[in-house]
Amino acid sequence: MMKHDFLRVVDAAQFFISQRILPGDMVIDATCGNGNDTLFLSDAVGENGLVFAIDIQKQAIENTKKLLESKGKYNNVEFINANHEHLNEIIPEVYVGKISAIMYNLGYLPKSDHNILTNAKTTIESIKSAVKCLYYGGIITICVYPHKIGKEEGINLEKYLKELSGAFNSFKFDRLNRNNPPYLYIITRD
């Protein structure tokens, strides 16, 4: 069993995802970054599962490939260099309603150009497509970092999540005793 450190929102996201996915599932890392969530998902769904690893930056795709290669994981991952905003065009129609989990880690790619980052408009468009991709019992996690743009992104995302239809539940996982800590949104389809 994996140890999870709930002081880090990415570990909390992985914990909640691990409660909802099984070997053989199809999942999406909508912002693959340096590949840590992709590696987690690849391990979780196993060799018979499928991970779509998406990022707008080629460097992120390369970083993720290097990490997976170093761990001997690669065969169950399809890499897609695109903006997550276009999730409805990226994920083949045959998989809509069959995805068990989708992970987002918003913001910018660490150790890269901080001018290339997610924003409220593109993330909300992506989430609109993501909820359609989920099967019943599926989950979406969204790690938010409240830097300048991230704070606005989180506020707008929360407004959208509060208005999701009754088929979905949305939650916020937050540390209350820290100044502007990262936090986690969770969407489930039940």
Taking the alpha carbons of 6, 11, 17, 18 in that order, is the dihedral positive or negative?
negative
- Among 3-7, 74-78, 117-121, the minimum mean pLDDT is found in 3-7
Neighbours of 122 (CB within 10 A): 17
Per-residue pLDDT, 111: 74
Query: 187 is written with which tokens?
Result: 């969407």
Task: Give the bridge partners for 177, in sequence order.
Answer: none
Q: Each residue of 134-156: pLDDT tens digit?
A: 999 999 999 998 877 788 888 99
- 52 three-state secondary structure: strand
Taking the chain, what is the end-to-end CA distance rounded to the nearest angstrom? 25
Q: Each residue of 115-124: pLDDT tens digit?
A: 777 888 999 9
Q: By the 8 A CB rule, do 129 and 88 touch?
A: yes
Q: By the 8 A CB rule, do 105 and 41 touch?
A: no
Rounded to whole angstroms, the Cα distance separating 172 from 118 reads 19
Rounded to whole angstroms, the Cα distance separating 18 from 139 reads 10
1 pLDDT band (50/70/90 cuts)?
very low
Neighbours of 84 (CB within 10 A): 26
pLDDT > 70? residue 5: no
Query: 68 is written with which tokens?
Result: 């997976």
pLDDT > 70? residue 176: yes
* Residue among 111, 177, 118 nearest 142 (CA): 118
Taking the alpha carbons of 171, 173, 178, 179 in that order, is the dihedral positive or negative?
negative
Per-residue pLDDT, 110: 75
Q: By the 8 A CB rule, do 175 and 137 touch?
A: no
Q: By the 8 A CB rule, do 185 and 131 touch?
A: no
